[in-house]
Amino acid sequence: MSKSGESFLFSSESVTEGHPDKVSDRISDTVLDAFLEKDPNALVACETLTTTNLVVLAGEVKSTLKLTDLEDRVRAAVADIGYTNPEHGFCADTLEYLDRLHEQSPDIRQGVRRDDGEVGAGDQGLMFGYACRETDELMPLCISLAHKLTRRLSDVRKSKKLDWLGPDGKAQVTVNYVDSQPVNVDTVVVSTQHSESVSTDDLRDAIKAEVIMPVLDSWGNTSSIKYHINPTGRFVVGGPDGDAGLTGRKIIVDTYGGYAPHGGGAFSGKDPTKVDRSAAYYTRYLAKNLVASGAVDKALIQVAYAIGVAEPVSVHIDTFGTHKVEIKKIYSAVKELFSMKPADMIKELGLRRPIYTPSSAYGHFGRSDVQFPWESLDKVSDLKSYFGI
């Protein structure tokens, strides 16, 4: 907890679905959903490389399903993002497609599908879940606003309101905190791909009026905010043509914008037996329900696993001193009401479904445009009853 009157600045960024790394995430989750659609027990770990007019799939799959339309699905995903113009250097119709997926190692698989019926963790590692009261969605304000800006960038592009925008873009928001509470937005940075037809001055005016202000107007006086819009002055070459993209290279964008720790594992392209994904989702679910119950104002949950072992090797809860009930009772409630065995997490949240493609851009947490099961507040009443609040 900060001292009384202490202030600090904190920044988080988001990127659009047309950012090269997010294009790769979208393709990887498209592949995952394609398998889960007809084989809920498929084991998938798909990595994607994107560069100038090239998509390369790599990784491991174990499934009874033989997909014959995977290339069509990948091209459709690229087109949906907005890469349909060959002039962008990356185009759904003309890109080269290489599929180097192969069967999952039996050494890994034997730890996941165990003889005793349990599902072992697909790898060792540690995951974090976080929630706080800074926003209605119980997310840190910086990352929440950054996602809203990049989502707005995509919306005005796809609606043709700003038809000179390209698919690639990013936003960064800096918030001033006093006593660990957000007080005002200090700085906004937006960089967006554009066509040759728009001038820098016109672009900056339009982005401020049509993208930034609709998001920030609800924050009262915006006159003191510092704006940096396309600060280099030019961003015509973008997407995978401007910078190679890789799956899992935007893990901080995917989670809490750096405001909470990250275990290091990426999400996209991985089926839910990979605890990198399922346990990160489940700890967010746990943390969000704890905060919504009123027992704490902030919650950070860490869980760690050993490969092939169902029970976590450790669970840690940090409330940053905001708990309203005894911390021992919080641990007891978590143990009684939440099971972090992979099979139990998968079943409770219904994770063996093709629900992952929408998560590949604009964050995995705090979303209002899509109903992810890990954002549910269905344990709040149970927690209140347990705590007597």
Catalytic, 17? Answer no
Known catalytic residue at 271: no
The active-site residue out of 25, 29, 33, 276 is: 276
Contacts 24+ apart (CB under 8 A), 351-355: 351/272, 351/278, 351/281, 352/36, 352/40, 352/41, 352/271, 352/272, 353/36, 353/40, 354/32, 354/33, 354/34, 354/36, 354/37, 355/33
Catalytic residue, chosen from 147, 157, 274, 364, is 274
- Catalytic, 249? Answer yes
Sign of the dihedral through C-alpha 249, 255, 261, 262? negative
Q: Which of 243, 311, 344, 382 is catalytic?
A: 243
22 is catalytic: yes
Strands (E), 266-388: 298-305, 314-318
Q: Can 270 be counted among the known catalytic residues? A: yes
The enclosing H or E element of 264 equals: none
Proportion of the chain in helix, strand, coil states, percent, rounded to 5: 35, 25, 40
- Of the residues 60, 186, 311, 344, only one is catalytic, namely 60
Q: Is the distance from CB of 144 to CB of 78 less than 8 angstroms?
A: no
Give the three-state DSSP class for 389.
coil
**194 is an active site residue:** no
End-to-end CA distance of the chain: 24
Block residue for tokens 């699905």? 73
Token pair of 96 as six digits:
């080269």
Which listed residue (17, 29, 47, 241) is catalytic?
47
**Considering 22, 62, 288, 323, which one is annotated as catalytic?**
22
62 is catalytic: no
Number of C-beta neighbours around residue 52 at 10 A: 14
Separation CA 250–CA 42 (nearest Å): 25
| The one catalytic residue among 10, 19, 206, 310 | 19
Query: Catalytic site residue 234?
Result: no
Query: Is-catalytic flag, 384?
Result: no
| 233 close to 200: Cβ distance less than 8 angstroms | yes
* Annotated active-site residue in 250, 288, 298, 323: 250
**Options 73, 208, 244, 343, the catalytic residue:** 244
Q: Of 26, 170, 288, 341, which one is the catalytic site residue?
A: 170
Q: Which of 235, 365, 372, 387 is catalytic?
A: 235
Q: Residue 220 corresponds to which tokens in the numbers above?
A: 């009262």
Structure tokens, 42: 């498929």
The residue annotated as part of the active site, out of 17, 21, 254, 318, is 21
Q: Which residue is catalytic, options 26, 270, 284, 379?
A: 270
Structure tokens at 28: 């990887």
**Cα–Cα distance for residue pair 174/8, rounded to 1 Å:** 10
Residue 276 appears among annotated catalytic residues: yes
Element (H, E) at 252: helix 251-254
What is the set of active-site residues?
A: 19, 21-22, 47, 60, 170, 235, 243-244, 249-250, 270, 274, 276
